[in-house]
Chains A and B, each alone.
Chain A
């Protein structure tokens, strides 16, 4: 057996074992809510990845540490496989109800649950959950069994931090190549010198903030089950809801405003959270990304409020601010909760064009690297802007001048600048290329005249930015099969920041040394 395949197999096996653990923990939910009929489906969903994971880790126990190429392939293939296995609860629970298995006393069939009998819809939901996107194949989340409501929220919560981060925190030991895997999952910041201890601290912070978020939402009036689910998906900036009209269902300004800090917490890098908990509050403004999270959110909110108020979308300035601030923060933190829906006011898809494009801009940039958000990330956007300014100013200096670019307290020399600028430019370029490809595909397959260009652009940016705001295109019936496959790809590359997926595809097509 090829050495590389053994390493990849061993680490994928660990990820599957971690996923099985999540599924077994989730068995508590049907027990608590009395949905006993869902237990066999959930147990089988856990046993499948456990059996495969256990056999892989046992067989390749002695495999060597992963290198950079292996790390990228493990991350890309692992996320795809986790999404596939994570779709089993949707599929099997839906089929349990559809077939009305005798002895299990299944509830009556609903069209919402029936949509998951299609494996593609189940996979879409799972990929959307794990990548923290939040686009959904359900048309009414309220009628889903509690077990599936929980599973949707839980996978977003885990996916927000990362499946590899979870696996590393639980199953890895120091020196097992954790750094390579950690960096392959679109992370690079460390809290401690050891990666294992870094990821454990990340989970510690995430858990504490989850309890804070749940209690905050409950205190402002959200029912407890809603607070648990929305606290988890809000902090993970995933955006799945358990109500039909997302957060608009509650139609409460207090809940809207309480969710703002929850989403903002999710969009700040974990190392900054750690320093703040240590008492170093200066990081709220000295850290470049955190400072820009606040500046960027404020400017976006202001612009959006102005656009929707000036266009007469909302009657009062407070209304424009309430919906404008929520939707911009929800988009820019990549949470994707919606308050602007038809049931309560004006749906996002019918906002003025300039407002829709402002929200799209928020989705494209995203929040801070090292947090739970998607998008290009603020640090890359800032590196590009500062790099461009630096290059233009270069012309005004003599050739002999020694210049350095300062970014986030670091002073970059010419070589470092070129490296960082190149990385930011490559990812930004690829991001826009795949955004354009996705838009093109959707324009080809959607019924002509039904959706505007800005609607389509908005929806693709939402999928690729792992945001989940919808202009109404995504749905089990409204989105054609090819559109679902396109969005699956957009969500996958968006979560892993494109390059690991491209490296994997090249390795698969070109054999990239795997079979040598």
Chain B
């Protein structure tokens, strides 16, 4: 079974910006929030959250430059 065949997840992958990186960011978003909820605020969780945000922003800019 591939990711695209999973209910909801498959539809999400079909619907977006047709970019695997953005799809991945969308899919791991809830996971990161869950990790934060379980572990609380720590340098590790803060680093993960900031890493997610910086990567999102940098990738948008990278796509812009590439375009």
Contacts and interface: CB of A to CB of B under 8 A. Distances in A.
Contacts of A235: none
B26 A204 contact: yes
Interface in A194-212: 197, 200-201, 203-205, 207-208, 210-212
A207 B67 contact: no
Contact of B29 (A205, A208, A219): A208
Contacts of B49: 215, 218-219
Contacts of B26: 204, 207-208, 211
B37 A204 contact: no
A429 B37 CA distance: 48
Contact of A277 (B12, B52, B63): B63
Interface of B: 11-12, 14-19, 22, 25-26, 29-30, 32-33, 36-37, 46, 49-50, 52-53, 56, 60-61, 63-64, 66-67
A484 B18 CA distance: 45
B61 to A, nearest CB: 8
19 contacts: A200-B11, A204-B16, A204-B26, A205-B17, A207-B12, A207-B29, A211-B33, A214-B33, A215-B29, A215-B32, A215-B53, A216-B53, A224-B36, A274-B17, A277-B17, A277-B19, A278-B63, A279-B63, A281-B60
Nearest to B56: A212
Contacts of A208: 16, 22, 25-26, 29
Contacts of B33: 211, 214-215, 224, 228
Contacts of A210: 29
A280 interface: yes
Tell me the interface secondary structure of chain A in the complex.
helix
Interface string A169-212: 00000000000000000000000000001001101110110111
A276 B25 CA distance: 16
Dominant secondary structure at the B interface: helix
Q: Which 5 A-B pairs have the closest CB atoms?
A: A211-B29, A279-B67, A279-B63, A281-B64, A200-B15
A210 B15 CA distance: 16
B15 to A, nearest CB: 4
Contacts of A274: 17
Contact of B17 (A219, A278, A281): A278
A276 B16 contact: no
A394 to B, nearest CB: 40
B60 to A, nearest CB: 7
A204 B17 contact: yes
A279 B64 contact: yes
A312 to B, nearest CB: 38
B19 A211 contact: no
A466 B30 CA distance: 29
B59 to A, nearest CB: 9
